[in-house]
Amino acid sequence: MKLRVQNDRPDSKRALKLRESPAVMQPNPSERGVLAGNGLSLNLQPELLTGTPFTATAAAASNADSSEVRVSMTGASGDSNGGASSRRSRVNSHTHSHAHPHSHGHSRGQLHSNSEPELDPPDPDGDSGEPSASLTELRCLFRWIQKSLPFLVILCAKLVIQHVLGLAVGVGLLTTFLYVNKNIQTQVFLQDRHSKLRCIWLLVFLISSTLLLYYTFLSETLYFSLIFLSPTIEPLGFWEILWAVGITNFIIKFLFMGIKCLILLVPSALVTYRTQGRWLMLTEELGQVHQATAPVPLWFRYLVSYQESDGVSGLTTGVLLALFYLILKLLGLYNQRTSLLKTVRIFLAGEHTGSAATRAQCSEAGDVCPICQGEYRDPRVLICQHVFCDKCIALWFNREKSCPLCRTVITDKVYKWRDGATSPHLQIY
């Protein structure tokens, strides 16, 4: 068995390599290379290993002839507890005591060894003790979790049973959202071939889901949250706030998805594909602003509320927390404002990718659009001189930034909401 300690650079990590080798005393040529450089080799002699090899007390002696340090191991019973950590610290301290002279470029003749590794001064950077200590703590934590897992499962089950109605409504809303979102995207993608009937169905589905929900919980007046008022839920605790905020978030999504359905219902003779995309993008941006602002009054009210028994300190803490929340919210809204302004600018100015292609440019490109493989309709030429139909390339840039043929970057940002998608992000605060 051979233990090799490499120390190629002063700050490098020491690599420990353990492997079986019959020739204990004779290092192979490659190891000689290591020794000639900045390396150090520790040979553990199997014939000297008695008892448990690695819990043994190490007694090291340097061999001047071969520049190898042989570590003789003698068995020591009663050291089995915490053997792993003590072994590691010993090996580490041993490594440091020998590796240090090398790191300063001393010759191998100056190699010294310490016959009492346990008495080595503690490592200045302490890297030998800390990992094992934190590992033990982690192990303790893991064991605690493992022990209390059954109780945690029982607690979770109780929580689920208590809020079974809320969870069921949540799953229902999420399914509705995913279904309608996917369908709107498909209808936008189909362009002229989209089905008006399908759009009407989606609209009816959204309206009926919303009305059913609000009718079921009529007494809670959850719809007040849509217009920044507090619903009449008493008492307004944490779970009630979470419930109202979650429902409101989904309903706002539904509302703006309904508007998108209406945009799709506008006859294509009146609105071009690009104009439709701009309307969809603006709708989504406005929807996101509404989603971000709707929960503010609810959380604000929750944070400032306090018990009579809390007194002045309770009120002060509540107001402070509410102020912090408002600052956090304003910072978030400021970031959103930049995105909204950009969208409004694009919406008002309109945007066209590239410029109108001439007859000559089209024939040079082969008179066939590389995307739809048909004749050019309203051809546009990009800065890379590739020509596409206006609709085809508009559809492409709903998701991509670069030319589909040569990958030249054409736009710096993808305005993905032009494809009719609604962000699935659940705005809970």
Q: For binding to Zn ion (CB under 5 A), which residues are involved?
A: 369, 371-372, 384, 386, 389, 392, 403, 405-406, 408
Interacting residues of 169 by C-beta distance below 8 A, sequence separation 6+? 213, 247
Work out how close the CB of 369 gets to Zn ion at its nearest, in angstroms, rounded to a whole number: 3
Q: Tally the C-alpha atoms within 13 A of residue 357's C-alpha that lie toward its C-beta.
A: 28
Please answer whether residues 416 and 398 qualify as being in contact, where contact means their C-beta atoms are separated by less than 8 angstroms.
yes
Q: Which is nearer to Zn ion, 46 or 404 (CB)?
A: 404
Q: What is the DSSP letter of 121?
A: P
Q: Which is nearer to Zn ion, 184 or 410 (CB)?
A: 410
Q: Which is nearer to Zn ion, 167 or 406 (CB)?
A: 406
Q: Which is nearer to Zn ion, 130 or 367 (CB)?
A: 367
Query: Which residue from 281, 280, 286 is spatially nearest to 260, judged by alpha carbons?
Result: 280
Pairwise CA distance, residues 319 & 306, whole Å: 10
Work out how close the CB of 374 gets to Zn ion at its nearest, in angstroms, rounded to a whole number: 6
Question: Parallel, antiparallel, or unpaired for β 40-44 and 57-63?
Answer: unpaired
Q: Which is nearer to Zn ion, 69 or 392 (CB)?
A: 392
Pairwise CA distance, residues 195 & 186, whole Å: 10
Work out how close the CB of 356 gets to Zn ion at its nearest, in angstroms, rounded to a whole number: 15
Q: Which is nearer to Zn ion, 5 or 392 (CB)?
A: 392
Neighbours of 201 (CB within 10 A): 14
Distances (CA, A) of 12 to 39, 42, 103, 121, 365: 12, 18, 10, 21, 58
Pairwise CA distance, residues 390 & 276, whole Å: 14
Work out how close the CB of 385 gets to Zn ion at its nearest, in angstroms, rounded to a whole number: 7
Work out how close the CB of 403 gets to Zn ion at its nearest, in angstroms, rounded to a whole number: 3
Work out how close the CB of 396 gets to Zn ion at its nearest, in angstroms, rounded to a whole number: 10
Q: Which is nearer to Zn ion, 202 or 403 (CB)?
A: 403
Task: Give the chain's largest Cα–Cα span.
Answer: 95
Pairwise CA distance, residues 397 & 410, whole Å: 9
Work out how close the CB of 383 gets to Zn ion at its nearest, in angstroms, rounded to a whole number: 8
